[in-house]
Amino acid sequence: MHNLSLTQLAAGLRSKQFSSLELTQSFLNRINSYQQLNAYVTVSSELALQQAEAADRRLASGDATPLTGIPLAQKDIFCTQGIKTSCGSKMLDNFIAPYNATVIDHFNQAGAVMLGKLNMDEFAMGSSNETSFYGPSLNPWATDCVPGGSSGGSAVAVAARLAAAATGTDTGGSIRQPAAHCGITGLKPTYGRVSRYGMIAYASSLDQGGPMARSAEDAALLMQVMAGFDSKDSTSVDQSVPDYSASLNDSLQGLKIGLPKEFFSSDLDSRMASTLLAAVDEYRKLGAEVVEVSMPTLALAIPAYYVIASAECSSNLSRFDGVRFGYRCHNPADLTDLYTRSRGEGFGSEVKRRILMGTYALSAGYYDAYYLKAQQVRRLISEDFKRALNEVDVLMGPVTPSPAFKIGEKTGDPVQMYLSDIYTIAINLAGLPALALPAGFIDDKPVGLQVIGNYFSEAKLLNIGHRYQQVTDWHLQQPHGFE
């Protein structure tokens, strides 16, 4: 059962080939068998079985949605009432959320089953899942390699079939990068398309939740539940939600694809370039036209991103002070000692590094030189994308500079770690949607193709992904030992 797509699982539940209770227990057994992957922070077995029983009753009554009774897992950044929501941090290791994030409510209303909460880089700050307080998740394709981050646990759970699908969040590539490293499909929606209410903030103007699944077809079903306006989120966009599954099979005849020459420069590994260009050739066979475009401001994306994201994280994480919730140091001498030791002991080194960078960028005398300048560069990057997407329908390129790297390989060099997101960060600065698709292998490790669209073009991106997956089988490949 664990190898079936969401559509196949839904059909099996409706036809009574198996019950949600049986399906859920099957996934719980797999989670228990593959604990060494460290994909889950919390396994909510009791809740999952209760939800499965409720789903079976709902299925029997005929009041079911496409996701009713299907076991999913949530990134541990979405607040979940009555269950630990840790954000991968010691700071929130004891935090039991008193309410549900809107995304969690949407899945509950759809009748989905929640298997648990998934491992992640601490407060979503990382590109490898190695900054988690709970240790790194292991890439099932090569367990000595990282799964990517920050949504590494989500990618591992889907790739190893420890959940039928999962949620992730993407601030600078944190859905797409682990999706590429683990050979699954990940969609970063347009900023404002998915509610951020109850999604613990890292960088408020960049964070966006999205689906992580085996295929574009499965991601479309998840997006149908996740997307929509939320009055509780001031960054949510009030725009109608299309039927994401309705256009999956639309023809790609005449589709105009742009290849940014800055993405395919000599800096890109030649094996990566040839693998991705072979994927682009499949689109030519499907009727697409491919042209080269230029986006000269892309080189400025990483410095602009790390100034803006660090500044916003400095502000957002100031609430974790040891007073109201989360970790508190033992026997503080006074208020200052409470603040400094709680934050010093509760946060990991990468989170501290970004808080310090952000506080510096926002400080008197440096705001104009760093933060304001980065926001101006952000506008230039957005204009570059606007010009390119006026010329073509979508842009295509790499998700990552290389396949998954070894655990510990880059932890001693933060700059090299930051460069892991060189091809994804600009999309978040512009607020655009982008899709990561499995597109081949290098050294037996998955490689991802990135498809970037215009604002609110998620349905078109999913259509483009689905048509590619109808003529290729990269998304059907399974890591050895986890079949």
Residues designated as active site = 75, 150, 174
Helix (H, G, I), strand (E, B) or coil at 119: coil
Q: Distance between the two ends of the chain, CA-based, in angstroms?
A: 11
The closest of 449, 437, 455 to 217, measured between CA atoms, is: 437
In angstroms, the CA 289 to CA 117 distance is: 42
Nearest to 203 by CA among 135, 295, 304, 102: 304
One-letter amino acid of 207: D
Q: How far apart are CA 8 and CA 26, in angstroms?
A: 16
How many beta carbons lie within 10 A of that of residue 135, not counting itself? 12
Q: Are strands 113-118 and 71-75 parallel, antiparallel or unpaired?
A: parallel
60-91 burial, b for 16+ CB within 10 Å, e for fewer? eeeebbbbbbbbbbbbbbbbbeebbbbbbbbb
Peptide bond into 61 cis (omega under 30): no
**Do 432 and 452 meet the contact criterion of CB atoms below 8 Å apart?**
yes
Q: Can you say whether the dihedral through the CA atoms of 483, 226, 438, 206 is positive or negative? A: negative
Is residue 226 within 8 A of residue 103, CB to CB? The reply is yes
Report the C-alpha gap between 187 and 209 in whole angstroms: 9
Q: What whole-number distance in Å separates Cα of residue 248 and Cα of residue 331? A: 59
Peptide bond into 205 cis (omega under 30): no
